[in-house]
Chain A
Amino acid sequence: MPSYTFDLNGKPVTVEAPADMPLLWVLRDLLHVTGPKYGCGVGVCRACTSHLDGAEIQPCVVPVADCADRKVTTIEGLADGDTLHPVQQAWLDQDVAQCGFCQPGQIMAAAALLRQTSEPTDADIDRIENVCRCGTYCRIREAIKQAAAQTSAQTAAQTEG
């Protein structure tokens, strides 16, 4: 069986897995990293959303072979130790979650969006396809705006400093 090494949440990991094994099952079943959730297996519901080299991916449709020697970040690796990522902090402040199952994916999608667009418009936020069956969308929108405001305030402070 081929073996793949990649960076997972800041630490190198090596797994033996078939080349076509989706990253989602490598994470969940081989590495017991269960933050990314299965919700459809076809890249549609996006409950598994994570980052590959900082960009959004759906690990249920990304084969592990594509991740070799790259950086994989899951919800478990988003915070800086005990310091939450601004998106997580905004999620907490807005009390976004209900059942919580889709929220790791929602947060990773929002973090990827903010990396691309520091001040997302409503239209930008509308393009997020992640399904939330509890219907937390209005709080997600507020949380993204809060995180964007905090991030730009931090950036401004850093620039001045």
Chain B
Amino acid sequence: MERQWSRRRFMVYSLAATTLTVAAPIGCDSSTAEGAERADASARPGVLVTGDDEEMLVLEVTAANRVVVRLPRAEVGQGVTTAVAMMIAEELDARLADVDIPLSDARTRGNQFTGGSNSVGSLYGPARALAATARAKLVTAASRRWGLPARALWTKDTMVIAPDGRTATFGSLTEAAARITRPAVPTTPKPAARHKVIGKPTTRIDARDIITGKAQYAGDLNVAGAKPTVVARPPTIGGKIRAVDDRAARAMPGVRAVVRVAGGVAVVADTFHHAFKAKDALRITWAPGPLAALSDTAVRSRLRAAVPPLGAAPSGSTQVTGEFEFAFIGHSPMEVLTTVADVRADRAELWFSSQGPMFARDDIAAAVGLPASKVKVHVTRGGGSFGRRLNHDFALEAALVSKAARMPVKLMWSRSDDLRHGRMRPATHHRIRVSHKNGQVVAFTHALASANEGAVRDGARAQGGVTSALTRAGRGPSAGPVPSDSGLYNFGRLSGNWGSVELAAIPLGAWRSVDSGTTRTAEEIMVDETARSLGKDPVAFRRTTLRSKAVRAVLDKAASAGSWGRTMPAGHGQGIAVHEEYGSCVACLIEIDATDPKNPRVTRAVLAADVGIAVNPRGLEAQLMGATIDGISTVLQAGLHIDRGAIRESSFADFHYARQRHAPLRFEAHIMPSKGEPGGAGELGVPAAAGAVANAYARATGTKPRRFPLNF
């Protein structure tokens, strides 16, 4: 029997409670189907169910007139809490300021994974369905209280309003609404045409907390007794302790404990000042890590050698070829990795930012020898992530230190720990060949090799890894098609292959836009070079070869808004690139001043994006802005070197992520009107921005950019 379940239909449960509490399963990939089945089989609208809220999105209206939805996602700056608050406020007719979106603790079941730019898309249906049901029940409760027909009432500003002017706050109705089983008004979400909140540029709901210093990250929490902790780490990646003399460190004032862990030697102290000083007083002899003989030159030549062959080109065709290299690059979120961990004999409690807290909880439980049910993980606000918090190696380490030291700890990685011990986007080498004949591209081949963690140290993924297979179901660093095979362009026969170089112990991780950050960037450069080879303009060439109308539309928008083709002074140039992924697409036009090729400045960025319904255009613009800065950084100046098994960089003094002086002086993002379901947007802009920066640099300097970052 074919299941008649669509993403648009969401069963909403009412949970037995004294306040109005409704729940909807979160629709997302496989968990949608699972939730759907249960809902189909067991629930009718209005049936009260208890428990099982673990895998659902739950909305509660409190007596104090707050609307609370615990969100099973990470907030790391991408603005998902604001987007969800907007969805809820829209359907409830609540004031945005009355909606609270705290982050859920790690759950036992369901989908609590933040990645692949899927949060808004997966929450859009259930969040609105929930709020629409809650609204119907509140209206029904008010109609009974007032003895007025429910259809005569309306809702606004977290209140139900009667035609005679009487009002009742949702909080005052919540108890009565909890007992409503059959709402007297429809529970269906509004049509998009009636949206007043969704689609309106909205300031982050936590903006005021942030600008007044009230917003708390893991390191700001005042958990009773949690002692500042830092770890002395080896100079090389994966280096091991040979001998430790910790007498001087232990004798220092304020030192509470010194314990050995897999990654080094942890010092627990009364303040971070005392912890850092005692760390410096440790005398440690290190054994070099497994990559001690390896430097960048060797990594690059091994990657080049590992690129699978391209195969034969179609006979009689002309070839445009390019080889591209991308260096390792750290995630380096501003908030260094920080965990508060309190591990006792019979239970554990932890606080940290995580994109996959359920995996983290299970790994931590196994590592400290507790059942998962005895480990509580609180997900805190994260100070940036860019994929770094998909891995929970840092939290696992904190748990083990707390257990060994027998006290709660606040373990913080230093910036140098963060840069030197990972994680990083894998270095890659790409070989691309575009074959054309009679003015048409007839074949496009992209083979690449990527660095790979290989047999990872100490029980492998127990170090807190979440495989890229999880973040990118169906696509990973295995032999097979590359992203271009999804076919952005009518380029005839598409083929590709993937090789890898295993570098034991190298700490890698998914980095915003994952493989597309390198593969699609390289491809967009080749599209420009192919256009040149055919004597065509890069925009005109893309227009005639792009498959999708939506991509052509964003290309046209960026080209016209950015005055594509305008005359530029010598040493300046424009560049353009497009990208399509996560059900969304984007075009980016960049203007660069490369008069000094060693010190180029992107002066202007114009983006156009089609992400379906843009829940918060202001938040979307912010994501596109951040992606543009990522493109500038990764293409022009930011990367990590490996010198004899060690990362050379140790702070933002030598890891040259963009500063204000590298950011475009003019930035504009155009958001295409759309009635489509929301697609992903958090990672979308990176490949287009990176490609456009490289193409602009190429045109400004008359060079062919090949090795990134260009100034390294």
Contact = CB atoms under 8 A, between A and B. Distances in A.
Decide whether A and B are members of one complex: yes
Given A28-B272, A76-B212, A136-B625, A99 B384 contact: yes
B273 A38 contact: no
A129 interface: yes
Nearest to A21: B273
Interface string A2-43: 000000000000000110011001101110101111111110
A156 interface: no
Nearest to B332: A133
Given A100-B383, A141-B665, A95 B618 contact: yes
A41 B280 CA distance: 14
B382 interface: yes
Contact of B659 (A22, A75, A103, A131): A131
Contacts of B213: 34-36, 74-76, 104
A131 B419 CA distance: 15
B383 A37 contact: yes
B78 A98 contact: yes
B211 A137 contact: no
A128 B660 contact: yes
Nearest to A39: B334
Contact of A127 (B271, B661, B663): B661
Contacts of B560: none
B336 A39 contact: yes
A101 B272 CA distance: 19
A72 interface: no
A122 interface: yes
B276 A75 contact: no
Contacts of A100: 77, 206, 209-210, 215, 381, 383
B271 A30 contact: yes
A52 interface: no
A96 B272 CA distance: 30
Contacts of A103: 210-211
A104 to B, nearest CB: 5
B335 interface: yes
B629 interface: yes
A57 interface: no
B661 A95 contact: no
A114 interface: no
Interface in B608-632: 618, 622, 625-630
B513 to A, nearest CB: 13
B207 A133 contact: no
B220 A95 contact: no
A124 to B, nearest CB: 10
Contacts of B324: none
A29 B415 contact: no
Given A39-B415, A101-B383, A133 B657 contact: yes
Contact of A125 (B79, B660, B664): B660
A131 B271 contact: no
Tell which of B206, B618, B661 has the most Cβ of chain A within 10 Å.
B661
A102 B214 CA distance: 13
A122 B665 contact: yes
Contacts of B215: 100
B333 interface: yes
Given A41-B415, A131-B657, A133-B332, A97 B204 contact: yes
A40 B420 CA distance: 13
A91 B76 CA distance: 18
A37 B335 contact: yes
B485 interface: no
A88 B211 CA distance: 6
Interface string B204-231: 1011111111111101101000001000
B484 interface: no
A129 B204 CA distance: 25
A104 B204 CA distance: 16
Nearest to A45: B652
A45 B663 contact: no
A126 interface: yes
Contacts of B335: 37, 39, 99, 101
A15 B222 CA distance: 19
A91 B336 CA distance: 23
B344 to A, nearest CB: 23
B585 interface: no
Interface string B550-586: 0000000000000000000000000000000000000
B651 interface: yes
A155 B286 CA distance: 61
Contacts of B207: 91-92, 95, 97
A50 to B, nearest CB: 10
Contact of A25 (B78, B273, B651, B661): B273
Contacts, number: 183
Q: How large is the interface on A (under 10, 10 to 19, 20 to 34, 35 or more residues)?
A: 35 or more
B319 interface: no
Nearest to A32: B222
B660 A92 contact: no
Contacts of B273: 17-18, 21-22, 25-26, 29
A39 B210 CA distance: 16
Interface in B315-350: 332-336
Contacts of B333: 99, 101, 133
B414 interface: yes
Contacts of A136: 622, 625-626
Contacts of B663: 135, 137-138, 141
A148 interface: no
Nearest to B217: A101
B489 interface: no
B313 interface: no
B219 A38 contact: yes
Nearest to A107: B211
Interface string B389-417: 00000000000000000000000101100
B272 to A, nearest CB: 5
A41 B276 CA distance: 10
Interface in B178-227: 203-204, 206-217, 219-220, 222
A75 B415 contact: no
A8 B652 CA distance: 29
A84 interface: yes
Contacts of A153: none
A112 interface: no
A38 B211 contact: no
B54 interface: no
Interface of A: 17-18, 21-22, 25-26, 28-30, 32, 34-42, 44-45, 47, 74-76, 79, 84, 88, 91-92, 95-104, 107, 122, 125-141
Interface of B: 76-79, 203-204, 206-217, 219-220, 222, 228, 253, 270-273, 276, 332-336, 381-386, 412, 414-415, 618, 622, 625-630, 651-653, 657-661, 663-665, 667
28 contacts: A25-B272, A28-B220, A34-B220, A38-B336, A41-B415, A44-B652, A45-B334, A75-B211, A88-B212, A91-B211, A92-B203, A92-B207, A95-B207, A97-B206, A97-B211, A98-B77, A99-B333, A99-B383, A104-B210, A107-B211, A131-B334, A131-B652, A132-B334, A133-B384, A134-B626, A135-B628, A137-B659, A141-B663
Task: Please name the 6 residue pairs, one residue from A and one from B, whose CB atoms are nearest each other, closest first.
Answer: A35-B213, A135-B629, A99-B77, A101-B383, A137-B663, A100-B210
Given A26-B273, A98-B626, A104-B211, 10 more contacts: A28-B220, A29-B228, A35-B213, A41-B414, A101-B77, A101-B217, A102-B334, A131-B652, A131-B657, A132-B334
